[in-house]
Amino acid sequence: MAVLPPDLDASAFALLLEELRGAVGADWVWSSDDDLGPYRDSFSPVWDTAEERHASAAVAPADVPQVQAIVRLAGKYKVPLFPISTGKNYGYGGPSPNVSGSVVLDLKRLNQVLEVDDKRNFALVEPGVSYFDLYRHIEERGLKVMIDCPDPGWGSPIGNSLERGIGYTMPQFRDHFGASCGMEVVLPNGELMRTGMGALPDAKTWQEYRYGFGPDPAGLFAQGNFGIVTKMGFRLMPKPEYYRTGLITVPRRRDFVKLVEHVNYLSDSSMCGEAVYGSPLSRLMGDSQFAALATKLGGPSDAEMDAAAERAGLPSWQVDLQFFGPEATTKANWEYAKDRILSDIPGAKAIDGDHFPLPATEEQLLNTTQPYQTGIRRAGALGVPSLGIWRIVGDDGHVGFFPVLPRSGEAVFEAQRVLGDALKEFPLRPFFSATTAPLYWHSHCFQLVFAPSVKRSDPDHNAIVHRAMKKVVAVAAEHGWGDYRAAPIYQDDVADTYSFNNHSLRRFHEQLKDAIDPDGIIAPGRGGVWPRRFRK
Amino acid sequence: MNGHKIAIWVAVPALALLAAGGVSLAQAPRQPQALPKVVKADLPGRVIFEHQCASCHGAGPGDDGAAMLPGTANLARRYQGDLPAALELRDDLDGDALRLFVRNGIGAMPSFRKAELSDVEIDEIAAYLQATATLSQGG
């Protein structure tokens, strides 16, 4: 489906393509349907519908001066650019743009790991570098730092952090944007800017002191459209000497409240890595009688759930804990966690897990040495990028809604009930029940997950998914739970929910956008921020 | 999935092994899987395959006790033994066949852009797969 950029006719578009070829070489500009196919969102629920967003062309620069040249050409022709890093943002739109007719600025060829320092513990990379690339760079050189990577290792540290993606190690590294330090940005006028200490020409601390002096605009470039990030620094964890796991179970439904409070203490005190919550009762969801109870309208009572747990001989909740550091401190932290929780929650039990010096053996990395089945995915926990997680991707992919919740048991119980009830009208498998456990990805909040699959051959199913996504965003917001990240087709829905004081945040972003990017050429609509030219 | 981050592993502990009132657990039994023997050809496509394809389509085991990597497991389900599930054991995939899947994707496998995997590199992968399949068959 050939499309033209907004407000550009075919002859002007042909001139733009010719100038782009002159800037980067003819081999790195694409505009045919075949070549643009991979720039569609493979996981789109609106595939082949009027709502799908299509690129008009794609261009892949080799270096920063070429990025600047492309941005200046986009300004000359007033054509929207949609920058991507490795283009693997699946579940959140993949490489597809917000505005049909955008030219995708494919940064995959900017693929240099510029620096890794394992004494001061940071990296500086370009956007086309993947987690696999960074991991290989570190391992091939025997550097003593560990990365924190998301589930699929083909993503880009820059792209992932700009989407506020997460990983699975210690709290200060799991929030990938939070662990970033210093960026280089091509602004909408083509000018190059560096943030933080990078603005001081001779500074040697670009990746160590994030702020420099004065306002720090770095946050504008995450889920934003104020420039194109071409370099970014990341703090790295020194390779730990030892790794240890342990499982805590608690018998009653309401025990979850105290369990969460204890784990919050452990995590905020930097005593443990990602805590992985679960409910052993989820294994009963195949039983129709139990499933009906767990998904009951208005939610089951604590007594009903406790009785079901007792009948099944199962605890109500569990948490997988993991510890990094010297062997002695991992042991001490686990012993402390056990003592703290078991002395406070009657009936709580603790099970010693795996423990071994790092680096892990192949068997340890494959997670075949854990003395019980675990919710921890070992590769991610040890900062080893993988695509093993793709085994959960069914049909033709999925979309995702991940509301941000308070880190409390009560909030989880409320969200289970509210979101479960809200989605009952849709014929999809239940994502929320009284056994739904929170994700502890970002280090100071919980999230839940709604990620229904899409089926390219079943547009009726996709339409149901699409409606369900829009409804769950709205219902969650009514209860104070906002999504953290969204595909372009949902970004306006999500941005609309962040509406305090008559959308003052959005109006502030729009004022900035109009001042910095008056022609609206950088990713109009990204993050729900529309330049004047495109505002309705 | 953080890219992308859709991490939905429903934790299912081996709680049947929990002794009532106790915390001792037996080792959860795991059956070792016989992995196919792959003799890798020393061709330029080897590194490309290892960097671009092997994390899903390699012949090794999957994460966290899974017998196969996700792409290999999908092909095993699709072919039901009629064809090898591991791409390195397939001698029938030329560059055009690979391009069809790489550029269009299939099911959960998304498509790949020329900026990340060129047509020349796809041909090099095809040559590597054919040579590796032949070597692995003892040919």
Tokens 């080792």, located at residue: B27
Beta pairing partners, A145: A238
Q: Picking from A130-134, A390-394, B9-13, B115-119, which range would have the lowest pLDDT averaged per residue?
A: B9-13
Residues A216 and A267 in one domain: no
Question: Does the pLDDT value for residue B13 go beyond 50?
Answer: no
Q: What is the ipTM of this complex?
A: 0.93
Cβ under 8 Å to B: A residues 240-269 = 247, 249
Q: Residues A401, A403, A407, A408: is their CA dihedral positive or negative?
A: negative
Rounded to whole angstroms, the Cα distance separating A511 from A508 reads: 5
Q: How many CB pairs under 8 A join A and B?
A: 218
Inter-chain CB proximity B112 and A38 less than 8 Å: yes
- Cα separation, B53 vs B32, in Å, equals 24
- The answer to whether the beta carbons of residues B100 and B27 sit under 8 Å apart is no
The CATH number of the domain where A522 resides is what?
Answer: 1.10.45.10
Q: Rounded to two decimals, what is the model's pTM?
A: 0.94
Q: Establish if A377 belongs to a structural domain.
A: yes
- A278 SS3 class: strand
Of A355, A384, A413, which residue is a domain's last?
A: A384
Which residue of A173, A382, A389 to mutate against B (max B Cβ within 10 Å)? A389
Would you say residue A268 lies in a domain?
yes
Compare CB distances from A394 to B5, B64, B108 and report the shortest one's residue. Answer: B108
Q: What is the pLDDT of residue B21?
A: 27
State which residues form the domain around A143: 113-235
Q: Are A278 and B66 in contact (CB < 8 Å)?
A: no
- CATH number assigned to the domain comprising residue A33: 3.30.43.10
Residue B39 CA, chain-centre distance (Å), reads 16
Cβ-nearest to A391 among B66, B105, B112? B66
* Domain-located, residue A33: yes
Distance from CA of A395 to the nearest CA of B (A): 6
Q: How far is CA A110 from CA A105, A130, A161, in A?
A: 11, 11, 17
Does B24 score more than 60 pLDDT? no
Q: What CATH number is associated with residue A201?
A: 3.30.465.10
pLDDT tens series, chain A, 536 aa: 589 999 999 999 999 999 999 999 999 999 999 999 999 999 999 999 999 999 999 999 999 999 999 999 999 999 999 999 999 999 999 999 999 999 999 999 999 999 999 999 999 999 999 999 999 999 999 999 999 999 899 999 999 999 999 999 999 999 999 999 999 999 999 999 999 999 999 999 999 999 999 999 999 999 999 999 999 999 999 999 999 999 999 999 999 999 999 999 999 999 999 999 999 999 999 999 999 999 999 999 999 999 999 999 999 999 999 999 999 999 999 999 999 999 999 999 999 999 999 999 999 999 988 888 899 999 999 999 999 999 989 899 999 999 999 999 999 999 999 999 999 999 999 999 999 999 999 999 999 999 999 999 999 999 999 999 999 999 999 999 999 999 999 999 999 999 999 999 999 999 999 999 999 999 999 999 999 999 98
- CA-closest candidate to residue A293, choices A157, A284, A511: A284
Looking at the domain assignment, is residue A197 inside a domain? yes
Gyration radius from chain A CA atoms: 24
Q: What is the largest CA-CA distance in chain A?
A: 75
Q: Does residue A301 belong to any structural domain of this protein?
A: no
Residue-level pLDDT at B138: 81
Total of domains in chain A: 5
Quick check: B20 pLDDT over 90?
no
Nearest-CB residue to A165 (from B2, B18, B108) = B2
Cβ within 8 Å of A, B 32-51: 51
Residue A360 lies in a domain: yes
Per domain, the residue ranges of chain B are 36-136
The CATH number, out of the four listed (3.20.20.70, 1.20.1260.10, 1.10.760.10, 3.40.50.300), of the domain defined by the range B36-136 = 1.10.760.10
| Per-residue pLDDT at A86 | 96
The CATH number of the domain where A341 resides is what?
Answer: 3.30.70.870
Tell me the one-letter amino acid at A327: E
Residues of A with catalytic roles = 92, 484-485
Query: What's CA A398's distance to the chain center, in Å?
Result: 14
